[in-house]
Amino acid sequence: MDDLLFVLFWIVLLTSILVSADICFERSGFFTPNGTYDLNRRLMLASLPSLVTANDGFYTTSTGQDPNRVYGLGMCAPGSNTRSCSDCIISSSARLLRNCTNQMEGIDWRMDRTLCLVRYSNRSFYGSLGMEILRSENYTGIFQDDMTDLDDEWEALMISLIDQASTLYYAAGRQKLESSISHVYGVVQCSRDLSLENCTHCLQQDVIEYRSCCRGRQGGIISRPSCFIRWEVYPFLSLFDNIPHLDKDGKKISKGTIVAIVVAPVVLIALGFALWRRRKAYKAFTSDSVDDITTSGSLQFEFKAIEAATSNFHSNNKLGHGGFGEVYNGTLPNGAQVAVKRLSKKSGQGEEEFKNEVFLVAKLQHKNLVRLLGFSVKGEEKILVYEFLPNKSLDHFLFDPKKSSQLDWTRRYNIIEGITRGILYLHQDSRLTIIHRDLKAGNILLDKDLNPKIADFGVARNFSVDQTEATTGRVVGTFGYMPPEYVTSGQFSTKSDVYSFGVLIMEIICGKKNSSFNETDGSISNLVTYVWRLWNNDSLLEMIDPAMEENYDRNEVFRCIHIALLCVQENPTDRPTMSTIFRMLTNTSITLHMPQPPGFVFRVRSKSNPLDERLQSDICFERSGFFTPNDTYDLNRRLMLSSLPSNVTANDGFYTTSTGQDPNRAYGLGMCVPGTDARSCSDCIISSSARLLRNCTNQTEGIDWRMDRTLCLVRYSNRSFYGSLGLEILRSDNYTRDVQANMTDLEITWEALMIGLIDQASSWYYAAGIRKLESSISHVYSVVQCSKDVSLENCTHCLQENVIEYRSCCRGRQGGIISRSSCFIRWEVYPFLSLFDNIAPEKDGKKISTGTIVAIVVVPVVLLALGYALWERRETFKAFTTDTGVDITTSGSLKFEFKAIEAATSNFHNTNKLGHGGFGEVYKGTLPNGTQVAVKRLSKMSGQGEEEFKNEVFLVAKLQHKNLVRLLGFSVKGEEKILVYEFLPNKSLDHFLFDPKKSSQLDWTRRYNIIEGITRGILYLHQDSRLTIIHRDLKAGNILLDEDLNPKIADFGVARNFSVDQTEATTGRVVGTFGYMPPEYVTSGQFSIKSDVYSFGVLVLEIICGKKNSSFNETDGSISNLVTYVWKLWNNDSLLEMIDPAMEENYDRCELIRCIHIGLLCVQENHVDRPTMSTIYRMLTNASITLHMPQPPGFVFTVRSKSNPLEERSQCGPSTSISITCASPR
């Protein structure tokens, strides 16, 4: 008990010895509490934090009319970051309101992580020199060392600081004591409304005061209305962070480095040559927008590093064959495993998909999308590096009888929901609207916990802002997952992905492939047809995967099937959007409408080129007999053909198979030209199969050589034909005119070309080539192909027979086709289709010019300068390495040259200044291409902003959501630290919400849209991003508005990211804006996602009432803030009183009151009682969800305890009485 009393005694003593000083002057008279003057005073003080931070740390203002006008002044020490300045002004204002209960004049010099001044009066005091001493106090012990030394060094320090302050109104510094290793630290500050001469005079008077009051004291404060000094023998607070240590080890270029640069020109020449080669290698990978792939957000890997990681692409590391190439397991030097996708060197057609994946996936960031770590390009080698997912793809579990049991219903439902979130992000929440176009089980990868990640964006397409659909002549994807409108006319939209998603849900529930169902009533054999029949027969239980046994929620499973059927509706307008699907899945109270018959009948799409239509060659043989439509053989035939596209593409373009048992077994073969990309091959096989099914209605044997952007072969029979040489002529056709050139020349050239091609095909089964005609500038183009089931000798024989056939049917014709069961040739006098893309014409091979070589050799000065510049740049960036050793220069964002930033902002001209943001100023800039940007320039004096700068670059560069402000890049040069953001013309939400004139532009529809947009943004930060981000400073000033008044969350300087399993953290440095911070954060530094929820609740209430949190005045002794006000109205059943009059009566009353209800649930005192953002989103978007009654909210903010007793003394007043809050802008 005695110990407790002793502790309490010291707490009381320390809190009474304050480092801050407020004076309530009685000389100017008194006012009546809550009268007009008091209301004006509160209004003025509430506006100060935002105005001071927006105006370089100093602002004077007045509120009201005489005789009740209140004059005010707010000021922070130069270099203070916005958060510290705002917090200090808020605390000073709160202290004055609490202590100066009826005095017309008050002043407070305060030290709360920084130094600030707040002053108010009923008279204008600007420019007047106030010399009365407010405080003359020494509160630390007598210096134990040489006192004379302390006095001498103190005066020397003050002379220097006053000299600096005579120019800048402020100075901070230190002076070493001669007699010890100690220093004396001092700070001086004048109110900036004074003249510089009066500033000097005021500080000199403080020095005189020191001599009489405080000589030999280790520390103290002397303050007057117009100036302030403090000194200590330790670096107090953070005011000295920007003063470099006297013994700083300044690094210089070593002699060895200089010698190496000077005496090794060969190395530099080699470097120049290597750079030239690298640049040349990348030239092929520039997008249509002239956006070089090397500027992509992903990391460029050295090809040697990829070879090392995969043991030179060893077969032991091969994971499988993905789109357009092989996939390998790789291990980086730090032990991290990666998946390395190696584009086939022969597949030039995969180059477009490679660029697509790099440019699209690098811009996407969601926990349900596979993560692109980087890429590499070297010559023909094109590499994509992805995160490694040990469980491969969903189909490896779903369709495997042994592994499928690992997918219980809970896991399957989690997979469905995760895929939903991923597609929803692609369609709606990403800044780019992305259509995947190939959603299927094989493209859903699973992490170690079986969480889904959507992969393979090679054929994805992005839409512009207002675009809803597009049409293509190149239909890509996987047969069975493609909707009717896409297959028949090439039309695709977000609803195309919805169709694929519906099929995927059905597969997840039944555990079988779409193609594995056999119908007996004449309908097409697929899963959609099967499920629709079960739906109509009320027998859905038949489709549920037996591997789940009985361990599932029957209603939940049926609801998912219902949703899937809605997704596969034939008319795309009847399919729900992904946002609707998400609500259907997560809220069982939403009623689902009845589905119509789905779109499961696939038809071959029409051709725009009649010539290509004539190039198809299908033969239905009657020699092998007939079958009865829809009998067992027909079903086996359909099943076998439906499996061919995926099997052919997964097996290097050739596959043989059979389905069923004799005598109804169907044998099949599918083949594509070597080097064909997976999409073109699959599409060709699908078209050939569809043609055979349509034309060969009852024949037990059929064959189709097809040219559809590529060449492919599909064949089926009721007998095994593998290895048998089929020489019957299927087609011998010349369909173009006689050649107009020398006919003899054509024949000689044709035969010479064929001899060469047949020679190649005798080793590879395939060849394509070009040969120039001697008598003209024309060429002959040809392709030859054999079925790869025959021997190479039989291949040669078959093609030679085609040459003989040419001589009798087609001599002198410009083009033609001769096909047999086992081989095919086609020729033209133009490059038909895309089969010749990989045959290089006679290129003008670029070489290094003599001038370039000479320049590299004879200009060593330039190379020396380059070497030095690189060294200097490296030194500059050294300070910006995270604790994990990651250089900021490897960030996904684009590195801007500082000169480009200067040019864009007209050298940071005042006319381009938008305001004062977090830790610096914000300027409007215009890039050379005309793009407008917002340039955030960190204050050179603000060392406290460096951590926030790094935080913004590393965090925001990894985030991508349409409701988050977009970081375009950064720049670092010496002390200059720059962030470049997208430019948003409407500034921040508070500019509209709290402006009497502009607030009318925010009708209820817009306000609700803003609330929902902020919800989506925070939900992404908390749940959908790969990083769990706690913003920690959500407020109206940090919500920017685009041209359509859509919200974007900004200012991530104090944000924190959590690890996967982390739910909360505690800090000794509480940051944010008072009034938006929850009780547990203010009192103990504890924060979590629920901290942001509290801030969001306050923000919702502000949006509805159109007033700042701090602008409410109570008369019953309760704290003056919005939360208290709303809670009182809630209990009095008078919520309509709080609605912003600017909205007039144009609002949905129930919707508005529901939002207030949600706002109150968000500001509950106990953080466990607050809903998550996902729950809030469901509450907002579904009025059928019942909201529980809120408890009294957590609106009593207490000052957190300090670990440093001196800092405890720096707070003003009791720890439970701060009352002023403010929403300050960026």
CATH code of domain 725-836: 3.30.430.20
Least trusted range by pLDDT, from 249-263, 352-366, 409-423:
249-263
**In terms of pLDDT, which residue wins out, 1087 or 867?**
1087
CA-based nearest residue to 387, from 477, 304, 471, 453: 453
**CB distance 191 to 117 below 8 Å:** yes
Q: Which amino acid is at 1008?
A: Y
pLDDT on residue 516: 67
When mean pLDDT is compared over 288-302, 409-423, 695-709, the highest value belongs to: 409-423
Non-local CB neighbours of 277 within 8 Å, separated by 6+ positions: none
Q: Which amino acid is at 495?
A: K
3-class DSSP string for 595-640: CCCECCCCCCCCCCCHHHHHCCEEEEEEEEEECCCCCHHHHHHHHH
pLDDT on residue 276: 47
Cα distance between residue 199 and residue 162, in whole Å: 9
Is the pLDDT at 448 greater than 70, yes or no?
A: yes
Share of the chain above pLDDT 70, in %: 75
Is the pLDDT at 234 greater than 70, yes or no?
A: yes
Least trusted range by pLDDT, from 620-624, 725-729, 879-883:
879-883
In CATH, what class is 868-983? alpha beta
Non-local CB neighbours of 122 within 8 Å, separated by 6+ positions: 28, 29, 31, 37, 67, 69, 70, 71, 104, 105
Torsion sign, CA atoms 140, 142, 144, 145: positive
Is the pLDDT at 258 greater than 60, yes or no?
A: no
**In terms of pLDDT, which residue wins out, 981 or 22?**
981
**In terms of pLDDT, which residue wins out, 751 or 1199?**
751
Does 745 qualify as catalytic in the annotation?
no
Of the residues 193, 1033, 1051, 1092, only one is catalytic, namely 1033
Is the pLDDT at 240 greater than 80, yes or no?
A: no
**CB distance 941 to 79 below 8 Å:** yes
Domain positions in the chain: 135-232, 407-418+460-606, 609-713, 725-836, 868-983, 985-1195
Q: What is the pLDDT averaged over residues 726-733?
A: 84
pLDDT on residue 600: 56
pLDDT on residue 320: 77
Is the pLDDT at 489 greater than 90, yes or no?
A: no
Tens digit of pLDDT for each residue in 452-488? 999 888 777 877 656 667 766 556 677 778 888 876 6
User: What is the C-alpha radius of gyration for the chain, rounded to an integer number of angstroms?
Assistant: 38
Q: Binning pLDDT at 50, 70 and 90, where does residue 676 land? A: confident
Q: Which amino acid is at 884?
A: T
* Residue 564 φ/ψ, nearest 5 degrees: -60, -40
Q: What is the pLDDT averaged over residues 389-408?
A: 90
**CB distance 553 to 543 below 8 Å:** no
Q: Binning pLDDT at 50, 70 and 90, where does residue 373 land? A: confident
pLDDT on residue 302: 87
**In terms of pLDDT, which residue wins out, 831 or 84?**
84
Binding residue per annotation — 1107?
no
Q: Binning pLDDT at 50, 70 and 90, where does residue 246 land? A: very low
CA-based nearest residue to 45, from 1, 95, 82, 10: 95
Q: What is the pLDDT averaged over residues 503-516?
A: 89
Q: What is the pLDDT averaged over residues 379-386?
A: 84
pLDDT on residue 735: 55
Q: What is the pLDDT averaged over residues 1196-1218?
A: 33
Which CATH code, of 3.40.50.300, 1.20.120.530, 3.30.430.20, 3.40.50.150, is assigned to 135-232?
Answer: 3.30.430.20
Outline where 190-254 has alpha helix (H). 196-213
Q: What is the pLDDT averaged over residues 371-381?
A: 84
Q: Binning pLDDT at 50, 70 and 90, where does residue 1090 land? A: very high
CA-based nearest residue to 709, from 813, 608, 788, 805: 608
Instruction: Write the DSSP string, 362-411.
Output: TT---TTBPPEEEEEEETTEEEEEEE--TT-BHHHHHT-TTGGGG--HHH
pLDDT on residue 941: 56
pLDDT on residue 919: 65
pLDDT on residue 883: 36
Is the pLDDT at 2 greater than 50, yes or no?
A: no
Tens digit of pLDDT for each residue in 107-149? 999 887 788 999 999 999 998 999 998 888 775 556 555 667 7
Q: Which amino acid is at 609?
A: N
135-232 and 725-836 have identical folds: yes
pLDDT on residue 764: 87
Tens digit of pLDDT for each residue in 41-73? 998 898 898 889 888 899 999 988 989 999 999
Binding residue per annotation — 936?
yes
Which residue is listed with tokens 């009192």? 1083
In CATH, what class is 407-418+460-606? mainly alpha
Is the pLDDT at 417 greater than 90, yes or no?
A: yes
Which residue is listed with tokens 């477009």? 352
Is the pLDDT at 384 greater than 80, yes or no?
A: yes
Q: What is the pLDDT averaged over residues 552-563?
A: 92
Is the pLDDT at 816 greater than 50, yes or no?
A: yes
Tens digit of pLDDT for each residue in 260-277? 434 444 444 444 544 444
Tens digit of pLDDT for each residue in 986-1037? 988 999 999 888 999 999 999 999 999 999 999 998 888 877 888 888 999 8
CATH code of domain 609-713: 3.30.430.20
pLDDT on residue 357: 67
Instruction: Write the DSSP string, 67-102.
Output: TS-EEEEEEE-TT--HHHHHHHHHHHHHHHHHH-SS
Q: What is the pLDDT averaged over residues 1084-1091?
A: 87
pLDDT on residue 272: 52
Cα distance between residue 351 and residue 357, in whole Å: 10
In the CATH hierarchy, which fold is given to the domain comprising 985-1195? Answer: Transferase(Phosphotransferase); domain 1 (1.10.510)
